[in-house]
Amino acid sequence: MTDLLADLDGLRSLARERLAEASSAREVDAIRQELLGRSGRLTALLKQLGSVPADQRPALGQAANGARLEIETAIADQLAKLNAGDLGARLAEEAIDMSAPGRPLRTGHLHPVLTTMRDLREIFHAYGFEVFEGPEIETEEYNFELLNIPPDHPARDLWDTLYVAEPGSVEAGQPRPATDGTILRAHTSPTQIRAMRALEPPIRVLTPGRCFRYEAVDASHGFEFFQIEGLVVDRDTSLADLKGMLEEVARALYGRDVKTRFRPGYYPFTEPSVAFDIGCLVCGGVGCPACKRSGWMTILGAGMVHPTVLRNGGFDPDDFQGYAFGMGPDRMTMLRHGIGDIRLFFSADLRFLGQFAEGR
């Protein structure tokens, strides 16, 4: 009996020693197998119980159970300790230094001209206009003829056109214009014809897009620029509608106090034609270099759609009228922000563009 009791004690202290040295859950498990497993040491000791006198058995059995319990508790304790240690080590290893300064994120923003174009689209949307786009590569027919500008018309000089070369036609460095009249559109007006031919009346469309001209580039001219064309075709629309709407548009874009005026103008595709001016935003109308001392700045051309153009679009001018207008968002943006040179828009200079990060 004393032998067995001593053996149980030995087992307890062996368990304590071994567990204290165990450095992983795996090792603890191996110890559990060795001491408490089916062919483990405790089982081996219990097998000897049979040879112990009957009156001593209960006390020894109790002692054995006590030992098992104690070892199991020690195993659980050691596992808990190892887990906590593992977690602590991982936390230390994966720690994030929250005090480190972040890397600045550079966010992009719209180009100021695009912001103006978006604003105009919003403003005109309130008047029921939808966007209708046309191709940048056009034909002379759409760019000129169908807009009532025949080939020999002197007004062609108003649009210095870039011709697409006939493939393989370059001789001594000189290309020949394509015989099918393919050009880069010199204005967005050709979409008037395309919209009339594609849509049912009443038509209210806005055509934003890029235009191209053979221009010497200077502070107020680019060879590539934006226009926004507007077209309305309906049974009873008038110059008064056009005037009222454009005045509201100018106020929405430049503020309630903006001064406006209409002047007679000339375009072959409108009759009558007008030019729409706003009071100079730089000098307030007194006269300054920006407005060439006139106190006014022209922001668009407009007019009632010429009967010939209506007919070319498929409408009978006795039944339908229309008005049209063409705006220059580059110039309108320059006026908005007091930008003195159109070339800045295409300069890709972040010092310039970054000033419009707020969107306007």
Binding site for ligand DAH (CB under 6 A): 187, 189, 229, 267, 270, 301-303, 324-326
> At its nearest, how many Å lie between ligand DAH and the CB of residue 326?
2
Residue nearest to ligand DAH (CB): 326
**115 or 207: whose CB is closer to ligand DAH?**
207
**74 or 206: whose CB is closer to ligand DAH?**
206
> At its nearest, how many Å lie between ligand DAH and the CB of residue 221?
13
One-letter amino acid for residue 236 of the chain = D
Q: What does the alpha-carbon distance between residue 9 and residue 11 come to, in Å, rounded to a whole number?
A: 5
> At its nearest, how many Å lie between ligand DAH and the CB of residue 273?
6
**278 or 302: whose CB is closer to ligand DAH?**
302
| Other CB atoms within 10 Å distance of the CB of residue 347 | 11
> At its nearest, how many Å lie between ligand DAH and the CB of residue 199?
16
**279 or 322: whose CB is closer to ligand DAH?**
322
> At its nearest, how many Å lie between ligand DAH and the CB of residue 303?
4
> At its nearest, how many Å lie between ligand DAH and the CB of residue 163?
17
**187 or 336: whose CB is closer to ligand DAH?**
187
Residue by residue, what is the 3-state secondary structure of the chain?
Answer: CHHHHHHHHHHHHHHHHHHHHCCCHHHHHHHHHHHHCCCCHHHHHHHHHHHCCHHHHHHHHHHHHHHHHHHHHHHHHHHHHHHHHHHHHHHHHCCCCCCCCCCCCCCCCCCHHHHHHHHHHHHHHCCCCEECCCCCEEEHHHHCHHHCCCCCCHHHHHCCCEECECCCCCECCECCECCCCEEECCCCCHHHHHHHHHCCCCEEEEEEEEEECCCCCECCECCEEEEEEEEEEECCCCHHHHHHHHHHHHHHHHCCCCCEEEEEECCCCEEEEEEEEEECCCCCCCCCHHHCCCCEEEEEEEEEECHHHHHHCCCCCCCCEEEEEEECHHHHHHHHHCCCCHHHHHCCCHHHHHHHCCCC
**71 or 228: whose CB is closer to ligand DAH?**
228
> At its nearest, how many Å lie between ligand DAH and the CB of residue 210?
13
CB 345 within 8 A of CB 112: yes
Q: Are strands 203-212 and 130-131 parallel, antiparallel or unpaired?
A: parallel
> At its nearest, how many Å lie between ligand DAH and the CB of residue 267?
4
**233 or 324: whose CB is closer to ligand DAH?**
324
**267 or 296: whose CB is closer to ligand DAH?**
267
CB 67 within 8 A of CB 61: no
> At its nearest, how many Å lie between ligand DAH and the CB of residue 301?
3
**Residue 308 φ/ψ, nearest 5 degrees:** -60, -40
Q: How many residues does the chain have?
A: 360
**267 or 356: whose CB is closer to ligand DAH?**
267
